[in-house]
Structure 1
Amino acid sequence: MRRALLSRAAPMAAALLALALPAALAGPFHLRFLAEILLLGTAVMSLDLLVGSGGLVSLGHAALFGTAAYAAAVAALHLGGNLLLVLGAGTGAALLLAALMGVAIMRSSHLFLLILTLLLGQIAWEVAFHWRAVTGGADGLRGLPPLSLGPWRLDGPRALFLLAGGLALAAHALARSFVAAPIGRALVGAREQPLRMSALGYSTARIRLRAMLAAGGIAGAAGSLYPFLNLYVGPQSVHWSLSATMIIMLVIGGVGSLWGAFLGSAVYLALQTYVSAYTDRWQLFVGVIFVLIVLLLPHGLAGAAARWRRG
């Protein structure tokens, strides 16, 4: 019993320490950079629920993330930056879109699912780009009010980092519970043996819908906080290219490993931020690393770390 409790407490203690050290030591730029890693990593982790457990590769996941970001930004501009209001508006909008996407992909798979999610994501981008009265069009939305919770302002880099870290921990716990729950196991079964699952009385369409709702809710919560890192949100946040970037992050970190999503986002954003300061061809480095990961580490960095830990 004591060993089981220690094995559960150790990862949580390590995660809290990983949040406490940067919060105490890092400067404003690095705190915002780490917050971006945590928020995008949370969105990538939600994508892993679909890809890793269900084999449902989506090119429309950025639409969930970006729609939440827009909804949160619009709510903040009109009603103020209350944290609970912003989270509720963004997550609710993402859940609504996830329900629509889930209904559309309930009976799709493989290439048809990929194309369908791409088209749905492109529709979301068209709305964000052309509905200038609400979304600001190509200029996006700027000048957002700072986040607040009651009398406390949450606009400083340290507060935003801790918010992102708290959200990442809560989202990871929720995603882990989903994977371990019967619905998560049924999702894996629907991926591996869809005919057998149907013969046993399971509705693969409903399983996929529930998975999309879970992924949409987590991605929406992350997207709700994302605009407040730079007090801006633009149409690139819903573009399919961001969905492709999330897939790259997921593969680098390790498909099927929830915490690997944060590794993948950290590697990608570090290359984007630091290598791009020296060359415009930073994406070449991303491509090389991606190919090496696929060839040499098919389970990603998280899989390699797990093998190293086991000896």
Structure 2
Amino acid sequence: MAGNRSTLVLSVVVAALAVLPLTGVPDHHLRLVAEILILGVAVMSLDLLIGYGGLVSLGHAAMFGVGAYAAALFATHVSPDLLLAIPAGIVAATLVGAVMGALVMRSANLFLLILTLLLSQMVWEVIFRWRDVTGGADGFRGIPQLTLPGGMAIDSGVDLYYVAGVLAVGAYLVAASFVNAPIGKALVGTREQPIRMTALGYSIPRIRLSVFMVSSAIAGAAGALYPFVNLYVGPQVAHWTMSATLVIMLVLGGVCTLFGGFIGAAIYLVFQTHVSSYTDRWQLVVGLAFVATVLFVPRGLGRELHQLLRPLGLGEPRVTAETDKKGTVR
């Protein structure tokens, strides 16, 4: 019953997203919502690491940035076809995530955070210095519009909004499937009882590598669409400050709630877009909102919404790691 209600809520959200352009929302507002959806997907992918795996990473921007540059380069030099450029970004980000996951999968806590930060900065250094390919500090310009398989260009805010909406729904379904699968519950088990999971025969490094690859693929999908919002991508998308921004969005929206990433991204980007038109110190406003969230809503707005909806059976399913007598996670 709870699963049916959750499906109903998802259907209502998708329907609301579908009819939003019909309400007369200006094109530039639709582009803002598309950017919120894209960054929300990136934050959701980070939530798989931090929220469900307890793996605090400051290197997630590397996968996001690699996905962005790979898709932009592919669209420019090979084909702007949506069904080719986006997968190119996903593959590139997954490969980087696999390498990073292989290097850090035996680390934890502070060592994991520092390692992911260093590896991410190495990726940024390559992007920043490889001027002939990436444009260096000036960024990569001249990106063509994405096209559908039939050749129609995705050149308006409405088109981009719908593509971002499809991406968000698809990424959410993938992330939810992973979380509710046995490996997702095993991941939660490694977060809560790593010694017991090892004693039961589970390979914690292998589980961590798996979540790194899935998280990287989702982040790469978001990054692959990101350059086509403004037809430009700069090295800041792979910088550690971008990783920190994603963490801030995650805390604002709520850790361990997949939809919380979209809430956090919306709060941050709305402040960035509208508050910055009144003052250059909009980051101070974001900082105050972040401090207020930590003090008064420590679980994040998404977790509070989750708690309100759970008695009605409308929240996301609660993920727990239980083992039977044979030690199998279920």
- Under a length normalisation based on structure 2, what TM-score does the superposition of the two structures give? 0.91
Letter in 1 for 2:11: A
The yes-or-no answer on 1:221 pairing with 2:205 is no
Helix, strand or coil at the partner of 1:91: helix
CA RMSD between the two structures: 1.3
Query: Does residue 212 of the first structure (1) align with residue 207 of the second (2)?
Result: no
SS in 2 for 1:276: helix
The alignment partner of 2:280 has SS state of coil
The answer to whether structure 1 residue 249 and structure 2 residue 249 are counterparts is: yes
* Equivalence for 1:143: 142
Per the TM alignment, residue 192 of structure 1 is displaced from its structure 2 partner at its CA by 1.1
1:238 aligns with 2:238: yes
Task: Give the SS at the match of 1:141.
Answer: coil
Aligned to 1:50: 49
Partner of 2:126: 127
The equivalent of 1:99 in structure 2 is 98
Cα gap change, 1:183/1:6 in structure 2, threshold over 3 Å: closer, same or farther?
closer
What one-letter code is carried by the residue in structure 2 that aligns with 1:231? L
Match of 2:18 among 20, 25, 33: 20
Contact 1:36 1:229 in 2 (8 A): yes
Corresponding residue number in structure 1 for 2:269: 269
Q: What 5-or-longer segments of structure 1 have no aligned partner?
A: none
The Cα of 1:88 is off from its aligned counterpart by 1.5
SS at match of 1:233: coil
1:27 offset after TM fit, Å?
1.1
Which whole-Å deviations, capped at 9, do the CAs of 1:153-207 have from their partners, x for residues lacking one? 2121111100000000010011011111111111111111111111111000000
Are 1:80 and 1:145, in contact at CA under 8 Å, matched by a contact in 2? no
Identity within the alignment, %: 57
Mapped contact 1:23–1:162 kept (Cα < 8 A): no
Residue 4 of structure 1: how far off its partner (Å): 5.3
Conserved in 2, the CA contact under 8 Å of 1:102 and 1:208? Answer: yes
Shift of 1:30: 0.4
SS of match in other structure, 1:32: helix
Q: Which residue of 2 aligns with 1:40?
A: 39
Deviations 1:75-118 (A, max 9, x none): 11101211111012100000000000000111000000000000
**CA distance in 1: counterparts of 2:195 and 2:38, whole angstroms:** 37
Displacement, 1:292? 1.1
For residues 285-304 of structure 1, what are the structure 2 equivalents within 5 Å? Answer: 285-304=285-304
Whether 1:60 aligns to 2:62 is no
Answer whether contact 1:68 1:220 (CA < 8 A) is retained. Answer: yes
Whole-angstrom CA distance in 1 between matches of 2:187 and 2:7:
28
- How has the CA–CA distance of structure 1 residues 179 and 6 changed in structure 2, closer, same or farther, with 3 Å as cutoff? closer
The residue aligned with 2:87 is: 88
**Any stretches of 5+ residues in structure 2 without a counterpart?**
313-330
Aligned-residue offset at 1:22: 2.2
Tell me what 2:188 maps to. Answer: 188
CA distance in 1 between counterparts of 2:22 and 2:119 reads 42
Q: TM-score, normalised by structure 1?
A: 0.97
Q: How far apart are 1:248 and its partner, in Å?
A: 0.3
Separation in 1 of the partners of 2:59 and 2:277? 30
Do the aligned residues in 2 keep the contact of 1:187 with 1:207 (CA within 8 Å)?
A: yes
* Corresponding pairs, count: 309
Once residues 304 and 195 of structure 2 are traced to their aligned partners in structure 1, the CA distance between those partners, rounded to angstroms, is 33
Q: Map Cα deviations across residues 247-270 of structure 1 (whole Å, 9 max, x no partner).
A: 000000000000010000000000
Distance in 2 (alpha carbons) for counterparts of 1:195 and 1:5: 32
Residue identity opposite 1:173 in structure 2: L
Task: For residue 91 of structure 2, give the secondary structure of its aligned residue in structure 1.
Answer: helix
Q: 1:9 deviation in Å?
A: 3.5
Instruction: Report the structure, 1 or 2, having the larger helix content.
Output: 1
